[in-house]
C-alpha cells in the first residue's frame, strides 16, 4: 500500500515546498479520508506566503482550504458520508460545545481550527477531515465550480445579512473572486445596476464578462463621483471585499443605505467620519467566513443558479502551484484551481 503522497507544505517565511509526506490515516472515529479532486488557491494562501505574512499559518502545515474530493475511508462513527461520495469541505473545524457553537454561530467557535492554516489542507493527493465539515455534492457539478463552493458559502453569509431586493442597485469594491461571486449573486437576485470597482485589468474584464453594468478603475477615476453620476442619490448597497475600503463604501451609498464589510485586512485603519454614518443613517454590517451556508452553496451549484466557472482562468497540477501563486500575486489570473492528479 502506498504510504507517501505529494503535498505543498508551508515551511515559514514565505516558503512553500512540494515534498513527499505521509498519507493521513484514520485516528478518530469521526475522521474522513478524502482523495482530493481539486483545491482552489485563495487570496489567503497568497497572503500567507507574503513577506511579511498578512495571514498566519502554522509552519509544517499543508496549505489549501477550498477542497472538493471523494471519500476513501471513514472512521467507525461516520454515518453522513461513505466511500465513493463526492464532498466539499467546510474548512473550519468547530467544537460544537463552546458558547458560540451552542448559539449556532460556528464561524465564531472559541476553539476553531482552520484547515490549511493550522491543520493539513488540500494541496495534496489526500486530506483528512472531520465528518461534521463534509457536505455531499453531485458529480454533475464541474470540478472548477465545486472547488469554488467554499468562497460561495462565505459570500452567501454576507448576502443573508445584506438581503438584496430586485430593483435595488449596488457597488462592489474589489473585483477578485469573492467580489465576482457577489456580482453573480446580486445579478441573479435582480439587483441592477451593479458597479464594480477594481484596478487590475484582468479582473476588470472578468467583471464585465460576468455581467457588471459598470466597471471603474479607482486609481484613474473618483469612485464616489462615478457612482453619483450613475445613481443620483447613491447606491442602495455597497460591499467592501478588499478589507480596507469601508470609508469608500460609506461614501457611495445613499441615505439609509447598507454597507457590508467582508474583506479582511488586519493592518488596515481607514479614516471613517462617524457623523456621516449617523447623519445618513447608514447600516454597517460585518460578515466573517460562512455561517450555515454550505447547504445553500451546494444547492446553488447543483441547480446552476449561478455559473462561477468563467472566473477560473487556470487549472494547474500540484507541481505548478508556485506558478499559480505567482500568477495571482502579479494580477495575471483571477481564480486558479489545483488538481493534484491532473
Tens-place pLDDT, residues 217-229 = 999 999 999 999 9
Looking at residue 265, its pLDDT comes to 87
pLDDT at 1 over 70: no
Structure confidence at residue 266 as a pLDDT band (50, 70, 90): confident
Query: Do the beta carbons of residue 117 and residue 93 sit within 8 Å?
Result: no
Supply the pLDDT for residue 320: 98
In this prediction the pTM is 0.96
Pairing of strands 134-136, 126-130: unpaired
More reliable by pLDDT, 110 or 264: 110
| Each residue's pLDDT tens digit, 123-150 | 999 999 999 999 999 999 999 999 999 9
Nearest CA among 59, 52, 48 for reference residue 9: 59
Range with the poorest average pLDDT among 251-260, 269-278, 284-293 = 269-278
**Mean pLDDT value across residues 152-156:** 98
Contact 231, 194 (CB under 8 A): no
- The single residue listed with the C-alpha cell 464616489 is 224
Which domains does the chain carry? 4-148+308-339 (3.90.180.10), 152-286 (3.40.50.720)
Tell me the C-alpha distance between 3 and 93, whole Å.
26
Closest CA to 237 of 225, 250, 223: 250
3: pLDDT strictly greater than 90: no
Asked if the model's pLDDT at residue 267 lies above 90, the reply is no
CA 298 to chain centre: 14
Range 162-191 average pLDDT = 98
What does the radius of gyration of the chain's CA atoms come to, in whole angstroms?
20
* Residue-wise pLDDT tens digits, 43-87: 999 999 999 998 999 999 999 999 999 999 999 999 999 999 999
Average pLDDT (170-179) is 98
Tell me: the pLDDT tens digits for 208-217?
Answer: 999 999 999 9
What's the whole-number mean pLDDT along residues 190-204?
98
Residues 334 and 311: beta-carbon distance below 8 Å: yes
Task: Calculate mean pLDDT across residues 269-274.
Answer: 86
The overall average pLDDT reported for the chain is 96
Amino acid at each position: 500500500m502506498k504510504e507517501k503522497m505529494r503535498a505543498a507544505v508551508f515551511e515559514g517565511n514565505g516558503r512553500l515546498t512540494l515534498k513527499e509526506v505521509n498519507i493521513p490515516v484514520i485516528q478518530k472515529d469521526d475522521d474522513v479520508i478524502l482523495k482530493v479532486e481539486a483545491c482552489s488557491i485563495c487570496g489567503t494562501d497568497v497572503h500567507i506566503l507574503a513577506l511579511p505574512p498578512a495571514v498566519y499559518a502554522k509552519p509544517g502545515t499543508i496549505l489549501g482550504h477550498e477542497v472538493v474530493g471523494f471519500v476513501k475511508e471513514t472512521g467507525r462513527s461516520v454515518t453522513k458520508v461513505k466511500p465513493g461520495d463526492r464532498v466539499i469541505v467546510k474548512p473550519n473545524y468547530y467544537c460544537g460545545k463552546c458558547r458560540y457553537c451552542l448559539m449556532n454561530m460556528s464561524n465564531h467557535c472559541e476553539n476553531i481550527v482552520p484547515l490549511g492554516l493550522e491543520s493539513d489542507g488540500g494541496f495534496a493527493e489526500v486530506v483528512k477531515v472531520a465528518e461534521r465539515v463534509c457536505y455531499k455534492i453531485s458529480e454533475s457539478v464541474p470540478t472548477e465550480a465545486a472547488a469554488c463552493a467554499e468562497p460561495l458559502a462565505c459570500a452567501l453569509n454576507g448576502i443573508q445579512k445584506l438581503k438584496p431586493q430586485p430593483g435595488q442597485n449596488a457597488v462592489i469594491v474589489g473585483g477578485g473572486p469573492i467580489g465576482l461571486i457577489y456580482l453573480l449573486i446580486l445579478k441573479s437576485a435582480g439587483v441592477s445596476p451593479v458597479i464594480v470597482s477594481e484596478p487590475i485589468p484582468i479582473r476588470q474584464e472578468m467583471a464585465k464578462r460576468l455581467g457588471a453594468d459598470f466597471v471603474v478603475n479607482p486609481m484613474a477615476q473618483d469612485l464616489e463621483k462615478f457612482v453619483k453620476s450613475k445613481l443620483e442619490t447613491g447606491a442602495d448597497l455597497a460591499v467592501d471585499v478588499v478589507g480596507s475600503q469601508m470609508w469608500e463604501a460609506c461614501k457611495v451609498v445613499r441615505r439609509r443605505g447598507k454597507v457590508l464589510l467582508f474583506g479582511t485586512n488586519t493592518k488596515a485603519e481607514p479614516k471613517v467620519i462617524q457623523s456621516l454614518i449617523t447623519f445618513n443613517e447608514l447600516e454597517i454590517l460585518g460578515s466573517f467566513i460562512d455561517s450555515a451556508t454550505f447547504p445553500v452553496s451546494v444547492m446553488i451549484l447543483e441547480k446552476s443558479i449561478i455559473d462561477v466557472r468563467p472566473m477560473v482562468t487556470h487549472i494547474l497540477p500540484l507541481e505548478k502551484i508556485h506558478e499559480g501563486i505567482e500568477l495571482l500575486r502579479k494580477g495575471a489570473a483571477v481564480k486558479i484551481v489545483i488538481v493534484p492528479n491532473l
